[in-house]
Amino acid sequence: VTKRVARNFRLERYAIIGFMAFYIFNSQFVTPRINDQEIYPFFQWSLHSTVDNTHKFIQVRLTRIPGESSCLLQNCAYALPPVRSTRFYFLVQDMGRVQNSDPSSFEEMRGQLEAILRRSTAQTIRYELIEAKATPREFAKGGEISLGRVIYQGIVAP
Amino acid sequence: MKLSFQNPIRELAKFRVDDTLLQNLLRSFYGVLVIIDYWQFMSLVKMSNYAEAVWRWPVAWLTYFASNEQGMILAVVLICTMAFHIACMLHPAETGKKSVAFVLFFMMVAASSSFGKMDHHLYGFMFASFTLIFVKPFSNRRLEVARTRFYFWATQTMVLGTYSLAGLWKVRKLFQQGIDGDWANLNPVLLQVTRISIQNYSHNPDLGRWIHFAPLTMSLWIIMVVAETFAFFGSWFPKQQRLIGVAIILFHASTAYLFEIYYLPAAILAALLFCANPYVERHGSSSKHALL
Q: Which of A18, A26, A45, A20 is nearest to B233 (CA)?
A: A20
Instruction: Determine whether the interchain pair A140/B126 forms a contact, defined as Cβ–Cβ distance below 8 Å.
Output: no
Q: What are phi and psi of A109, to 5 degrees?
A: -70, -35
| Interface contact flag, A51 B191, Cβ < 8 Å | yes
- Look at residue B13 in the predicted model and tell me its pLDDT: 62
Average pLDDT over every residue of B170-181: 88
Q: Kindly identify which residue of chain A lies nearest to residue B163, measuring between CA atoms.
A: A45
> A52 and B184 in contact by Cβ < 8 A?
yes
Q: Residue B6 above 80 pLDDT? A: no
Q: Nearest CB to B158: which of A20, A27, A77?
A: A20
Q: Is the peptide bond before B92 cis (omega within 30 degrees of 0)?
A: no
Q: Confidence band (pLDDT; 50, 70, 90) for B158? A: very high
B27 pLDDT above the threshold of 90:
yes
The pTM of this model reads 0.80
Percent share of chain B, pLDDT over 90: 47
Question: Which range (A85-89, B154-158, B250-254) has the least confidence?
Answer: A85-89
8 Å CB contact between B111 and B71: no
pLDDT tops 70 at residue B11:
no
Of A28-37, B106-115, B204-213, least confident by mean pLDDT is: B204-213
Q: Which DSSP category does A39 fall into?
A: P
Q: Give the chain A residue whose CA is nearest to the CA of B154.
A: A16
Across residues A11-30, what is the average pLDDT? 88
Residue of chain B nearest A54, judged by CA positions:
B191
Q: How far is CA A25 from the centre of its chain?
A: 31
Q: How far is A76 from chain B (nearest CA, A)?
A: 9
**Interval B87-106 mean pLDDT:** 96
Q: Return residues 122-141 of A near B (CB < 8 Å).
A: 134-137, 139-141
* pLDDT band, residue B285 (cuts 50/70/90): very low
Quote the minimal CA–CA distance from B287 to chain A in Å: 32
Q: How far away is chain A from the Cα of B285, in angstroms, using its nearest Cα?
A: 33
Kindly tell me the sign of the dihedral angle through the C-alpha atoms of B133, B139, B141, B142.
Answer: positive
CB contact under 8 A, B146 and A9: yes
Q: Higher confidence at residue A117 or residue B85?
A: B85
- Separation CA A144–CA A136 (nearest Å): 9
Residues of B in contact with A134 (CB under 8 A): 194, 198
Considering only CB atoms, which chain B residues are within 8 Å of A61? none
Q: Cα distance from B195 to chain A (closest Cα, Å)?
A: 6
Per-residue model confidence (pLDDT) at position B14: 61
pLDDT on residue B12: 61
Which is more confident, B71 or A77?
Answer: B71
Q: Give mean pLDDT, residues A111-139.
A: 87
- Is A6 near chain B, with CB under 8 Å? yes
In tens, the pLDDT along B57-82 reads 999 999 999 888 888 899 999 999 99
pLDDT in the model for residue A33? 76
Is residue A78 predicted with pLDDT exceeding 80?
Answer: no
Q: Tell me how many residue pairs between chain A and chain B have CB atoms under 8 A apart.
A: 127
Task: Compare CB distances from B168 to A13, A28, A50 and report the shortest one's residue.
Answer: A28
Instruction: Note every long-range contact of B211-216, with CB atoms under 8 Å and residues 24 or more positions apart, other chains counting.
Output: B211/A136, B211/A140, B214/B187, B214/B190
Q: Helices (DSSP H) in chain B: which residue ranges?
A: 8-13, 19-50, 67-90, 95-112, 123-131, 142-179, 188-199, 204-212, 214-229, 241-259, 264-270, 286-289
Question: According to the model, what pLDDT value does residue B291 have?
Answer: 46
Query: Is residue B123 predicted with pLDDT exceeding 70?
Result: yes
Locate the chain B residue with the closest alpha carbon to A5: B143
* Alpha-carbon distance A65 to nearest alpha carbon in chain B (angstroms): 23
Which has the higher per-residue pLDDT, B34 or B191? B34
Asked if B194 and A145 touch (Cβ cutoff 8 Å), the reply is no
DSSP B261: -
Q: Residue B120 and residue A47: Cβ atoms within 8 Å?
A: yes
Chain Cα centroid distance, residue B248: 9
Q: How confident is the model at residue B292 (pLDDT cuts 50, 70, 90)?
A: very low
So what's the pLDDT on residue B1? 46
- Give how far A119 is from chain B: nearest CA, Å: 18
B204/chain A closest Cα distance in angstroms: 5
Average pLDDT of span A91-119: 89
Closest chain B residue to A90, measured at CA: B199
> Residues B86, B24: contact at Cβ < 8 Å?
no
Instruction: Give A81's DSSP letter.
Output: T
Q: Do A140 and B204 make contact, defined as CB atoms within 8 angstroms?
A: yes
Q: pLDDT tens for residues A26-69?
A: 888 877 777 777 888 888 888 888 877 888 999 999 888 877 78
What's the mean per-residue pLDDT of chain A? 85
Q: What is the mean pLDDT of chain B?
A: 85
- Determine whether the interchain pair A55/B198 forms a contact, defined as Cβ–Cβ distance below 8 Å: yes
The amino acid present at A34, given as its one-letter code, is I
User: Higher model confidence: residue B56 or residue B50?
Assistant: B56
Mean pLDDT over B106-125 rounds to 90
DSSP string, B154-168: HHHHHHHHHHHHHHH
CB B182 to CB A53 under 8 A?
yes
How far does CA B122 lie from the centroid of its chain? 7
